[in-house]
Amino acid sequence: MLDHLPKPNTFSLKNHRIAVLLPCHNEALTIAQVVTEFQSTLPEAKIYVYDNRSTDNTAEQAVKAGAVVRHEPRLGKGNVIRRMFADIEADIYIMADGDNTYEVPAVRRLVERLLGEQLDMVVGVRRTSAGESAAYRRGHRGGNAFLTGFVKFLFGARLLDMLSGYRVFSRRFVKSFPALSSGFEIETEFTIHALELKMPFAEEPTVYISRPPGSESKLKTFKDGWRVLGTALLLFKEVRPFLFFSIIFVMLALISLILGIPIVETFLETGLVPRFPTAILAASIMLLAFLSLTCGLILDSVARGRREVKRIAYLDHPLPEFD
């Protein structure tokens, strides 16, 4: 299907504006190496480091390495990315972390796949090599698998690594992305935004590397995991409200029937209602069930309108073309 496209090694990136986005909080040990590797691997790109209230000399190290350094005072990865996406104008956006855990030499492969297959997002799926088994901690790996599976169940998508921070985006993805999250749940929002608008995207295996001694992960497995789960549920309600409220309808209706059927049977046999409070409770729960279904119908129309507006904003920007 893609035979008409040029082979990856024939791509020219000189006519594209490429921005490397590196959100950082206390990454002084590694940021200079990350910037240098991106400069070497992708000299066509302009590298931006956004310092997110670091208490070390992250910004100074990034400046020395040759990056454009800016600051975001509101703590949280989502806040930084929202600022980056609003500030920076480019055709292709590359997002990675400043902790030197992602395979920087793979970036050209990811960009070429974005262009060659005319995609809006390419996700670098984390894979550890034989000597780096401790790089991707078991708790993080298990949590990622659970949350990725949960989103696959809710949205019916084929995903391998929903929470990867190594991504390449088209301009039309970035400029149509609402960026509502404030923390690490922003990766979940990326995925659901692509699924909601039915954007073409792909996942590409990349090597995940151990942090150097002295560098600590900012991700809290349980705290951030709960936030990601909550974000997935919230976006499920926003994106697919009819299904969300239909599930609530079925649950409430079953409870109402379990409570009400014995009372109805007794009434049909004796003409009496022996448990009047239970009958009122069953009727009230059934009323709530139908109210939930009505909310789902109304909000489904609202969600459709919002999706149309997002789609128009998405189509307002051209897709980068390969040379």
Q: Where are the domains of the chain?
A: 8-239, 241-315
What is the per-residue pLDDT for 135? 47
What is the per-residue pLDDT for 273? 72
Does residue 246 surpass a pLDDT of 80? Answer: yes
> What does pLDDT average to over the chain?
84
What is the per-residue pLDDT for 129? 61
Compute the CA torsion angle 298, 299, 300, 302 (nearest 10 deg). Answer: 100
Helices 138-155 & 186-196, crossing angle to 10 degrees?
A: 30
Does residue 260 surpass a pLDDT of 60? Answer: yes
Mean pLDDT in residue range 77-94: 94
Number of H helices, E strands in the chain: 10, 7
Residue pLDDT, tens place only, 102-123:
999 999 999 999 999 999 999 9
Q: Which of 41-50, 137-146, 303-312 has the highest mean pLDDT?
A: 41-50
Does residue 77 surpass a pLDDT of 70? Answer: yes
What is the per-residue pLDDT for 162? 83
User: Which among 93, 35, 48 is positioned nearest to 320, based on CA atoms?
Assistant: 93
Is 252 in contact with 292 (CB distance < 8 Å)?
yes
Does residue 289 surpass a pLDDT of 70? Answer: yes
Does residue 184 surpass a pLDDT of 80? Answer: no
pLDDT band at residue 321 using 50, 70 and 90 as cut-offs: low
Q: How many CB atoms lie within 10 A of CB 323?
A: 12
Does residue 5 surpass a pLDDT of 50? Answer: no
Q: What CATH superfamily classification does 8-239 receive?
A: Spore Coat Polysaccharide Biosynthesis Protein SpsA; Chain A (3.90.550.10)
- Tokens linked to 110: 């990811």
Does residue 178 surpass a pLDDT of 50? Answer: yes
Mean pLDDT in residue range 85-96: 95
Dist. CA 97–CA 111, nearest whole Å: 17
Does residue 134 surpass a pLDDT of 90? Answer: no
- Percent of the chain beyond pLDDT 90? 50
SS (H, E, C) 62-119: HHHHCCEEEECCCCCHHHHHHHHHHHCCCCEEEECCCCCCECHHHHHHHHHHHHHCCC
Does residue 205 sit in helix, strand or coil? Answer: strand
What is the per-residue pLDDT for 13? 82
Residue pLDDT, tens place only, 211-226:
676 556 556 656 656 7
